[in-house]
């Protein structure tokens, strides 16, 4: 048997052991801390003076003193094929899909193109400190292969799936209920649970699937334990009205997904803006997650997410960039805009609340908090190293901070990919 691979990482460590909204001591902080990694997993996390003394002689130590070490960010909703239409001007959701999104997604019929974008996309995530993502591919099975290959080569934890879309879209992007089912099933068998990869059944949203396809998507989700389901929900008012027209029997937009067996643990819906209390309660009761995508919601003029309304009922919530409607791959920038969205609703997001959403909260929304999200012993050692001196302005503002909360808030308001000094997957710098 080969001996275990041991390494140590030293710096200022910040992570969550619980939700700061419910626990006074949820945030754990070691001003001079050490993370001990054994074979890619957290062996120990604690104060440096104590842990350094106990490290076996010869253990390599990476010194990040002066920088902060946090669990890798979890992006719970993003579209890799939309990388090339980020920042496209002037439309709201339904027009934006027609004008920008569908044309760019057609190009993923070409596996060479898909592979090139997938590599670029994964590298963008990593340079922003995102170590886990739930991403949409396109309707093309090869687009799923391309993203899984790229993530596997980098050892990232990644969730993706073939988009199911059998109506209300261009011919070139349309599958069929049976064809989409068969292709998804084959992809689940090929990829789900391989290395760090997980499959998500991916009906784009209720308007682009027939009831027959919605039914089969629900069946796939139910028949494969551990598989995810991702879609969009109640993002835009015109979209909500369209769903009411297409599914006249449904009580609400959410009810369409419920009727087709698409709620439950590991089901993740982006946006969730135009919902009522019955919908929110149903999401809480079924363990269905919301992905809050503030940069996208502001960019497309979709509306303001009600975090307090969701949290009060106990809904699982994560944070998503939603690139290409979202305007940044940076989860720091996404926290920045989450703060502003909530300000408009009179809800003040704390720095701890925001960093929790981006790490342990996101992991919990995806039911992955037994593997990622903090530095508890046994977790996968994915982490991000943030440099509070990354820019002249950050350095100046950080120097004036008098508390950890203030320093974290400044990082999320002024930080971006320049702030990310390093990203580690399973202990190793990438």
**What is the contact surface with ligand GUN in residues (CB under 6 A)?**
79, 93, 97, 101, 204-205, 232, 235, 296, 322, 325
Nearer to ligand GUN, 241 or 429 (CB): 241
Beta bridge partners of 130: 73
Q: Is 322 in the site for Zn ion (CB under 5 A)?
A: yes
Q: Which residues are CB-neighbours of 275 under 8 A, at least 6 positions away?
A: 233, 234, 252, 253, 254, 283
- Spatial contact of 253 and 211, defined as CB atoms under 8 Å apart: no
Nearer to Zn ion, 205 or 375 (CB): 205
CB of 346 to ligand GUN, least distance (A): 25
- Spatial contact of 16 and 391, defined as CB atoms under 8 Å apart: no
Choice from 86, 197, 227, 270 touching Zn ion (CB under 5 A):
270
CB of 325 to ligand GUN, least distance (A): 4
Report the alpha-carbon distance of residue 421 to residue 64 in Å, rounded: 9
Q: Please state, in angstroms and as integers, the Cα–Cα distance from residue 248 to each residue in 56, 117, 256, 258, following that order.
A: 67, 39, 10, 14
Nearer to ligand GUN, 67 or 79 (CB): 79
Q: Which does 101 bind (CB under 5 to 8 A by kind): Zn ion, ligand GUN, none?
A: ligand GUN
- Spatial contact of 135 and 104, defined as CB atoms under 8 Å apart: no
**Which position has the token pair 């940069």?**
295
CB of 270 to Zn ion, least distance (A): 5
Interface stretch with Zn ion, choices 65-73, 222-230, 268-276, 327-335 (CB under 5 A):
268-276
CB of 65 to Zn ion, least distance (A): 39
Whether the upstream peptide bond of residue 341 has omega within 30° of 0, thus cis, is no
Nearer to ligand GUN, 205 or 355 (CB): 205
Nearer to ligand GUN, 323 or 366 (CB): 323
Nearer to ligand GUN, 9 or 133 (CB): 133
Interface stretch with Zn ion, choices 81-89, 103-111, 267-275, 413-421 (CB under 5 A):
267-275
CB of 140 to ligand GUN, least distance (A): 15
Q: Which does 372 bind (CB under 5 to 8 A by kind): ligand GUN, Zn ion, none?
A: none
CB of 42 to ligand GUN, least distance (A): 34
Q: Would you give the DSSP letter of residue 205?
A: -
- Catalogue the E-assigned strands of 156-259: 157-161, 163-164, 197-203, 228-233
Q: Which does 93 bind (CB under 5 to 8 A by kind): ligand GUN, Zn ion, none?
A: ligand GUN
Beta bridge partners of 28: 15
What Rg, from alpha-carbon coordinates, does the chain have?
21
Reported residue count of the chain is 430
- Angle (CA) 171 172 177, round 5°: 70
- Spatial contact of 83 and 386, defined as CB atoms under 8 Å apart: no
Q: Which does 235 bind (CB under 5 to 8 A by kind): ligand GUN, Zn ion, none?
A: ligand GUN
Interface stretch with Zn ion, choices 126-134, 321-329, 349-357, 371-379 (CB under 5 A):
321-329
CB of 239 to ligand GUN, least distance (A): 7
Residues interacting with Zn ion, by CB under 5 A?
Answer: 270, 322
């Amino acid at each position: 048997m080969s001996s275990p691979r041991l390494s140590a990482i030293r710096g200022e460590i910040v992570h969550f052991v619980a939700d700061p909204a419910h626990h006074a001591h949820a945030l754990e902080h070691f001003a001079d801390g050490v993370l001990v990694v054994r074979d890619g997993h957290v062996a120990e996390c604690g104060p440096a003076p104590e842990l350094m003394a106990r490290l076996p002689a010869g253990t390599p130590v990476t010194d990040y003193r002066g920088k902060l070490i946090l669990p890798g960010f979890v992006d719970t909703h993003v579209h890799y094929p939309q990388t090339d239409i980020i920042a496209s001007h002037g439309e709201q959701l339904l027009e934006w899909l027609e004008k920008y999104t569908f044309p760019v997604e057609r190009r993923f019929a070409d596996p060479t193109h898909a592979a090139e974008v997938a590599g670029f996309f994964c590298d963008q995530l990593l340079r922003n400190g995102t170590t886990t993502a739930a991403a949409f591919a396109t309707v093309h099975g090869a687009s799923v292969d391309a993203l899984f290959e790229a993530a596997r080569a980098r050892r990232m934890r990644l969730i993706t799936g073939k988009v199911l879309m059998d109506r209300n879209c261009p011919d070139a992007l349309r599958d069929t209920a049976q064809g989409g089912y068969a292709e998804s099933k084959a992809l689940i068998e090929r990829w789900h649970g391989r290395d760090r990869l997980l499959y998500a059944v991916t009906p784009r949203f209720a308007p682009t699937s027939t009831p027959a396809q919605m039914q089969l998507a629900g069946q796939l989700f139910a028949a494969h334990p551990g598989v995810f389901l991702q879609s969009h929900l109640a993002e835009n008012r015109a979209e909500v009205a369209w769903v009411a027209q297409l599914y006249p029997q449904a009580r609400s937009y959410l009810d369409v997904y419920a009727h087709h067996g698409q709620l439950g643990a590991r089901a993740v819906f982006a946006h969730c803006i135009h919902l009522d209390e019955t919908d929110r309660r149903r999401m809480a009761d079924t363990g269905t997650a919301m992905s809050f995508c503030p940069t996208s919601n502001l960019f497309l003029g979709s509306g303001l997410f009600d975090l307090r309304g969701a949290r009060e009922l106990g809904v699982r919530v994560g944070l998503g960039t939603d690139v290409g409607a979202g305007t940044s791959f940076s989860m720091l920038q996404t926290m920045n805009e989450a703060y502003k969205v909530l300000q408009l609703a009179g809800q003040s997001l704390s720095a701890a609340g925001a960093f929790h959403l981006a790490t342990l909260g996101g992991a919990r929304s995806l039911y992955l908090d037994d593997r990622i999200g903090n530095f508890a012993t046994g977790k996968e050692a994915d982490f991000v190293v943030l440099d509070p001196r990354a820019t002249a302005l950050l350095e100046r503002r950080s120097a004036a901070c008098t508390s950890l909360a203030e320093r974290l808030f400044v990082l999320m308001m002024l930080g971006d990919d320049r702030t990310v000094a390093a990203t580690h997957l399973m202990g190793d710098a990438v």
